[in-house]
Amino acid sequence: MAAAPDSQVQRAGRKLATPTPWREVGAAGNLLWGKCQGSGARPYQVSVDVAGPVYKCSCPSRKFPCKHAVGLLLLWAEGKVDETTGIAGFAAEWAAARAAREARRQPIASEEETRTPEQRRAAAEQAAERAAQRERRVDDGLAELDRWLGDQIGQGLAVDSGTLREECARVATRLVDAQAPAVATRLLNLSVQARGDLKSQTRLVDEFGRLRLLIRGWQRRAELPAGMVANIRRHIGFTTRAEDIIAGQPGVADRWLVLGMRDSQEDKVSVRRVWLWGRQTNRPAAVLFFAAGGAALQSNLLPGTEVAATLHFHPGDPRLRAAVGQRSDDVIEIDRWVPSTPLDVAGARRQWREVLSADPWLDSWPVCLAGQVVRRAGRRFAISDGADRLPLCGGGLRAAAYSLGRPMVVCGELSTDGLRPTAVVVDGKVRVL
């Protein structure tokens, strides 16, 4: 019973520690499994590795272990689960997936380690030539973009929005060919927003300025600090494998709270951005998942839960994007948490200025802001700390419903438009929006 996350799960687990709701129950070594009939038509599939212990259940509960896993453990402890040689398919699949993950974590002899010195030298020379070739392509593509930006500013922006979108698409295609995909995506996203109103044109000028700054940064990268160069390369579209980040960057161990998730489309690739916050380190992190060709996005980080893990942050300044290294399979629902140093509105604006000074091409930055949700004109909302207020970009009504006029902490993505809330903290309870 010590495994149960709270007394409620303990009580519910005891009620399930009887053969009545269970079928296809079995045990093999450290593995337990069974199907527990709930209120729905399909029974929940429950698997437990008692050596971990590690738990898996198909029920929607965010508590780990859930009442079904606790009930199965109690049933096994009472000698009501028989040993068998035939493992249920769902349990075998789960055990195999866990074994595969563990195998990937183990160091193995790489292809590099088996090469001769001559082969290593030849491979290094080839890699250096490929890198140099790509940089030359990026040079040419960004030079063409620079000329195009100059032409747009020279002729003025009071042009038909359809024509501008066509031009953006043409230049973006050239940038993809030049192996600068992130710049191409940035340009395409900008073209979608192209309209004839003053606000749209102001945003267009701002983005043109950031693009030209990116070009100048790339051209003068030899003179810039390493952190800024890493930012520039990332915003152009240079990528680094997660395995290389984990191997080459120090890890930050903490219990990481999953406070939000946002999906977007970049060219033909689906991107899922998951926002994390360190319980002890009090620092944010972003973990990205990708899916190409219409494949479904996957994520083993569920908003509203926390997991013990070591994150390895990508180079850059400030460091935000991270790869997940070692992590526990024990995922639990966030319980009783309040950020140790939530920001006020002035502090949030100051932090936004600071991160933009280090990385001018950032679109958003995660913050935790203390205040009260208040109504603006119409159905628009803002978070107020009494001295100042910050507009909320979507999610304001749901945040207000949780607030009920009480002070709370709003966690979300800060941008030039305001704060997009992803979660609220009320009386120590995290509510994901």
Q: What is the pTM of this model?
A: 0.71
Predicted confidence at residue 153, as pLDDT, reads 84
> What are 400-432's pLDDT values in tens digits?
888 777 889 999 999 998 999 999 998 888 888
- The CA distance from 390 to 377, in Å, is 13
Spatial CA neighbour of 263 closest among 382, 414, 422, 401? 422
Predicted confidence at residue 161, as pLDDT, reads 66
* pLDDT at residue 374 greater than cutoff 60: yes
* pLDDT at residue 1 greater than cutoff 60: no
Residues 6+ apart with CB under 8 A from 2: none
Which three-class secondary structure state does DSSP give residue 360?
Answer: coil
The Cβ of residue 67 has, within 10 Å, a number of other Cβ atoms equal to 25
Predicted confidence at residue 163, as pLDDT, reads 78
Instruction: Report the top-level CATH class of 242-333.
Output: mainly beta
- The CA distance from 351 to 362, in Å, is 13
Spatial CA neighbour of 373 closest among 394, 344, 397? 397
- The CA distance from 181 to 268, in Å, is 11
**Contact predicate 205/157, CB 8 Å:** yes
Task: Please report how the helices 198-219 and 181-192 are oriented relative to each other, as an axis angle in degrees rounded to 10.
Answer: 170
Predicted confidence at residue 371, as pLDDT, reads 92
- Which range (155-169, 201-215, 279-293, 328-342) has the least confidence? 155-169
Return mean pLDDT, the chain.
86
Give the pLDDT mean for 146-165. Answer: 80
The Cβ of residue 391 has, within 10 Å, a number of other Cβ atoms equal to 13
Predicted confidence at residue 3, as pLDDT, reads 66
Give the pLDDT mean for 357-381. Answer: 90
Give the pLDDT mean for 50-61. Answer: 82
In order, the DSSP letters of 18-40 are SSTTEEEEEEETTEEEEEE--SS
Q: How confident is the model at residue 433 (pLDDT cuts 50, 70, 90)?
A: confident
Q: Which of 192-201, 334-343, 394-403 has the highest mean pLDDT?
A: 334-343
Residues 6+ apart with CB under 8 A from 222: none
> What are 235-270's pLDDT values in tens digits?
999 988 888 899 889 999 999 999 998 888 776 778
Q: How confident is the model at residue 232 (pLDDT cuts 50, 70, 90)?
A: very high
* pLDDT at residue 275 greater than cutoff 80: yes
Predicted confidence at residue 113, as pLDDT, reads 61
> What are 102-122's pLDDT values in tens digits?
766 655 445 556 678 887 788
Predicted confidence at residue 53, as pLDDT, reads 76
Give the pLDDT mean for 340-349. Answer: 93
Instruction: Report the top-level CATH class of 345-432.
Output: mainly beta
Give the pLDDT mean for 69-90. Answer: 86
**Contact predicate 360/368, CB 8 Å:** no
Residue matched to tokens 């790489």 = 110
> What are 3-49's pLDDT values in tens digits?
677 778 888 888 898 888 998 899 888 889 999 988 778 899 999 88
Q: How confident is the model at residue 89 (pLDDT cuts 50, 70, 90)?
A: confident
Q: Cα separations (Å) of 125 from 25, 112, 138, 235?
A: 58, 14, 20, 26
In order, the DSSP letters of 377-418 are STT-EEEE-SS-EEEB-S-HHHHHHHHTT--EEEEEEEETTE
CA angle, residues 278, 283, 288, in degrees to nearest 5: 80
